[in-house]
Amino acid sequence: MKAVVVTGSNEFEVEEIELLPPKAHDIRVKMKACGLCMSDHHVISGSMPTPLPCVIGHEGAGVVAEVGSAVTRLAVGDPVVLNFSPSCGKCAMCQRGLGLYCSSFPVEKQLAGLQPDGNVRHQRADGSPVQSFFGMGCMAEETVIHEDSAVKVDPSIDLTRACVVSCGVMTGAGAAINTGGVRPGDSVAVFGCGGVGLNAIQGARIAGATKIFAVDLSEQKLELAKTLGAEYKTDKRHLFNQSIIHS
């Protein structure tokens, strides 16, 4: 199958590589859509140290094509959104509501492009291993991931839109709702209105923020921010003026 493989700093190409069969708790996903996140670009540029060669792509959605022998939560044909930050729901950290630090899915292995068992699921024809970014490697025709790294979604949802939930939406909305703990009546400023920032605005709005300030240098992004819930917008010049007034 074909996959986008990064082989060096600013070096990548579409390669024909092999997928290993799903293990007991794995699923094979036929990819339908994949976003290009800045983190993928960091792998390409080399600014995010990642073992190479590596299949990029971690913001994906697709359809389950095969399940491992112990998989019960998902079935062939299920539409799924991939999740590069899975949590088991059973360990001490998960029980405390800190699924991001789940001990079953250590971030070190994800950053090393490995599956939770410490192995890869991609290889070249000569048998040499190929890592998968964040354990996903979904900028490809197919990928094999742990079943907990996929969330079943309603079949009526357009997967070309759902794929961005996989990173941009959950990162931005999660920053406002979970990390920032925005509560009804709060005033919120979101600095940077790209894919993540726009979803932080939406998350703040959902959490009940009364005033949401969008801060960016791009007038185009600020206009988009207003359509997604920001009621106030400002840019660097206005902030500079404010800092003078307040000093």
The catalytic residue positions are 37, 39, 42, 58, 167
Distance between CA atoms of residues 6 and 49, nearest Å: 12
The reply to whether 167 sits near Zn ion by the rule CB under 5 A is: yes
Cross-strand partners of 200 = none
Question: Which residue in 36, 63, 91, 100 binds Zn ion (CB under 5 A)?
Answer: 91
At closest approach, how far in Å is the CB of 160 from Zn ion?
17
Question: Which residue in 4, 15, 39, 135 binds Zn ion (CB under 5 A)?
Answer: 39
Distance between CA atoms of residues 142 and 57, nearest Å: 11
Return the axis-axis angle of helices 219-227 and 195-207, rounded to nearest 10°: 30
Question: Which residue in 4, 6, 17, 37 binds Zn ion (CB under 5 A)?
Answer: 37
Residue 13, helix vs strand vs coil: strand
Which CB sits closer to Zn ion, 85 or 233? Answer: 85
Site string for Zn ion, 41-70 (x = CB under 5 A): ------------------------------
The reply to whether 36 sits near Zn ion by the rule CB under 5 A is: no
**CA dihedral in degrees (111, 128, 6, 167; nearest 10)?**
-40
Phi, psi at 213, each rounded to 5°? -95, 130
Q: How big is the CA angle at 132 (ends 126 and 133), to the nearest 5 degrees?
A: 150
CB 152 within 8 A of CB 79: yes
Which CB sits closer to Zn ion, 101 or 232? Answer: 101
Question: Which residue in 1, 36, 88, 189 binds Zn ion (CB under 5 A)?
Answer: 88
From 90-98, 108-116, 176-184, 204-212, give the range in contact with Zn ion by CB under 5 A. Answer: 90-98
For residue 124 the two structure tokens come to: 């070249």
E-strand spans in 127-230?
129-132, 142-146, 150-152, 187-191, 211-215
From 38-46, 148-156, 182-190, 219-227, give the range in contact with Zn ion by CB under 5 A. Answer: 38-46
From 74-82, 98-106, 121-129, 205-213, give the range in contact with Zn ion by CB under 5 A. Answer: 98-106
Distance between CA atoms of residues 214 and 191, nearest Å: 6
At closest approach, how far in Å is the CB of 158 from Zn ion?
20
Q: Which residues sit at the interface with Zn ion, rule CB under 5 A?
A: 37, 39, 87-88, 91, 94, 102, 104, 167
